Structure 1
Amino acid sequence: MKRLRTWACTALLALGATACGSGDAGGGQSAAVESGKPAKVVVGLLSVAAVAPVYLGDDKGFFEKEGLDVEFRPVQGGAEAVPMLMSNEIQFTFGNAISMAYAQLQGINMQFVTEGAQGGTNAKDATSGIVVSKKSGIKSAEDLAGKTFGVNQLKALGEITIRTALDKRGVDTSKIKFVEIDFPEMNAALANGSIDAAFSTEPFMSQALAAGNRNVMDAISETAPHLSLSGYFTSKQYAEQNPDVVKRFQRAMNRSLDYAASHEDEVRAVIPQHTKVPPKVAEMMKLPHWTSELNVDSIRLLISQGRKYGLFKKDIDVDAMLGSAS
């Protein structure tokens, strides 16, 4: 929670500074088109395979056709992206509902613009899983009671979905523990025994299974089929001041998502160009489920479960988060 408090405070400071500032479309409050020129927007992106549709859509000219001049900027996560949104350094970013909920608790209002990526419907078509060492005595989800899980971030998606999925199976979750470990380090943590199970995702899950480790369940699909893992969002302030630009970005992004869903070969080709995923891994890894249909019910479920498990100390206004994207 210390990390979350830190970025939230930084973002609030940025919000205060923004209230007194002005500038052009890339650094001020308005991206309105002048004299027929395209609107310049900057999009914050993580270096993950799930963002492939936005690059593909740019290559196909979907954003240009909507009168948008897009620039992509790397971000490491909500801790970096939210202050950049509030200072209007970027106008849109890739992130998730949990980060948006924490921001709202700090008085920072974000809005979904479109879907980002969704989970599978079962363990076979999922891009995530709960992986245990090949030497582990854990054979099923029921054996996970009281175990230590590696998750990429504490008090976030991993914890919510693991608790939810195990509760559904009647597994006692009162004594399970969570340790924060970056995804690339999960397999090593399994090997050295510092965790009993890893909340893993692609491409690291495929690497783990290739080494003989086992996937005992997919907590994400068991929480909800096609659960909304991420999305593209903006600040409420920007959305209110630039509704036309937001609508155009939404249309271009939705077209990009649907195109990616039906052009797998092109997706696998574009992933190594913009992420650290090697071409050979990109050819073999499972891909997220992409669609322009925002899974609103799964977002509401995530927030509700987060409240149930004590991650959020107050109720979250999900309707405000969804904005016009619902």
Structure 2
Amino acid sequence: MFIRRIRAVLAPATTVALALALTACGSDSGKPETGADGLTELTVAVSPGAATSTPMYLAVENGVFEDLGLRLDLKVLEDGSVAIPNTLNGQTQFSMSGFGAAAQAIEKGLGIKMIGAANVIPTDPESKYQAVIVNKAAGIKNMKDVRTWAADSTEVDPAQAHAVDSLGGNYTALKRVAVPFPAIGDTVADGTVDAALVNEPWLSVALKTGKTEILTYVTGELAVPGSPGAVFIGSDKFMTANPDVTEKFIRGVRTAYDYAADHMDEVARFVPSTKLNDQVPPVVALGEYQRGPLDAAKVQRLLDIFERYGAIKGSVPADKMIHGS
């Protein structure tokens, strides 16, 4: 597997609880250091997922941030639950975070904002990046036949719940089984569960077992096309105290992911250079990258789904969650 996924990033309640505990003493808004060469030095936390983070490594290699007067020290988030508290206490100036964790933290008033996104839910209606797969021997014809479901956590996943219910199933009635993410396809293949929602590269791996089949690809109204997956966050205090640095970083992130979206083959070839994985992935496994700034309307659609399934209260609209909106 060339991409790893951090479960804590996808467990918002755990992340926010830790953030509340670790930031009780306040947050840091200090001025970042400047190197002898005049570059402003920033520590930025990124996902261990190669597809998500490779555009940042490629941008650093290509001098995108240096051209903006910034030197980035990219730190891999082996434990995603510390992304928010580390941003608040100044260990990192900016960080990737799961969308759900960031939305919950903002709603609780923890003093962060979303400043951009790395990847998005695919917008191509013909996308084959993610699908609901079922055990081939189970005789499942539609989502109503599904009784057991594998995911990397038993916590409610609003995006998966939306897909299941839109297909005529009943997400809350499913028996959800927690499985380490790379093994979810195997759990469907061996019949431990009926079904799961799986994305590339694990989708291709699961299908190659010959024991799973696709019930449906998850696109269009089954998803929220163009809405963010992994987002970048910054603390309100740091960004208020350092507006120029913040705007330069945001500009660099947009440049990085705009370039990645237009040069997917180059991104795939660069993956081994990141040391996040030593294999060159197929381009389809990279998914789709964010182009330009966060779209508040698309973020709001995702927030509405999170509210519907109880992940957030819905008290903060999208334009108040995005820095500069």
- State the SS of the aligned residue for 1:255: helix
What is the distance in 2 between the residues matched to 1:220 and 1:32? 44
In 1, Cα distance between equivalents of 2:238 and 2:200: 33
Rounded to whole Å, the distance in 1 between the matches of 2:52 and 2:219 is 15
Per-residue Cα deviation, 1:85-116 (whole angstroms, up to 9, x for no partner): 11110111112321112223443132111121
C-alpha spacing 1:4/1:167, structure 2 compared with 1 (3 Å): closer
Please, which moves more after superposition, 220-229 or 201-210?
A: 220-229
CA RMSD, 1 decimal: 2.7
Q: Contact 2:164/2:171 (CA < 8 Å) preserved in 1?
A: yes
Deviations 1:267-301 (A, max 9, x none): 01112332554525x03643221222424323211
Q: Match for 1:73: what amino acid?
A: K
* Pairwise CA distance, 1:122: 5.1
Q: Output the TM-score relative to the length of structure 2.
A: 0.85
Residues 119/111 of structure 1: CA separation in 2 closer, same or farther (3 Å cut): same
Which of residues 180, 183, 190 in structure 2 aligns to 1:182? 180
Matched residue type, 1:115: A
Residue 81 (structure 1) aligned to one of 76, 80, 83: 83
Per the alignment, residue 4 of structure 2 pairs with none
2:322 matched residue in structure 1? 322
Q: How many residues align?
A: 312
Distance 1:223 1:285, change over 3 A: closer
Is residue 140–residue 217 contact of structure 1 (8 Å, CA) maintained in 2? no
**Aligned match for 2:25, one of 7, 11, 17:** 17
- Whole-Å Cα distance in 2 between the matches of residues 77 and 202 of structure 1? 22
> Aligned partner of 2:90: which letter?
N
Relative to structure 1, the CA distance from residue 76 to residue 198 in structure 2 (aligned partners, 3 Å threshold; closer, same or farther) is farther
Is 1:269 the counterpart of 2:269? The answer is: yes
Q: How far 1:42 sits from its partner (Å)?
A: 0.9
Runs of 5+ unmatched residues, structure 1: 22-27
1:24 maps to what in 2?
none
Match of 1:111 among 110, 113, 116: 113
Structure 2's unaligned 5+ residue stretches are: 1-7
Q: 1:218 to 1:242 in 2, by over 3 A?
A: farther
In the TM superposition, residue 36 of structure 1 has moved relative to its aligned partner by 7.1
Percent identity between the aligned chains? Answer: 23
Contact kept, 8 Å, 1:109 with 1:321, in 2: the verdict is no
Deviation at 1:256, TM superposition (A): 0.8
Cα offset for 1:17? Answer: 3.2
Aligned to 1:217: 216
Q: State the SS of the aligned residue for 1:265.
A: helix
Q: Is the 8 A contact 2:43 2:91 kept in 1?
A: yes
Whether contact under 8 Å (1:307, 1:315) holds in the other structure is: no
Query: Which residue of the partner structure matches residue 260 of structure 2?
Result: 260
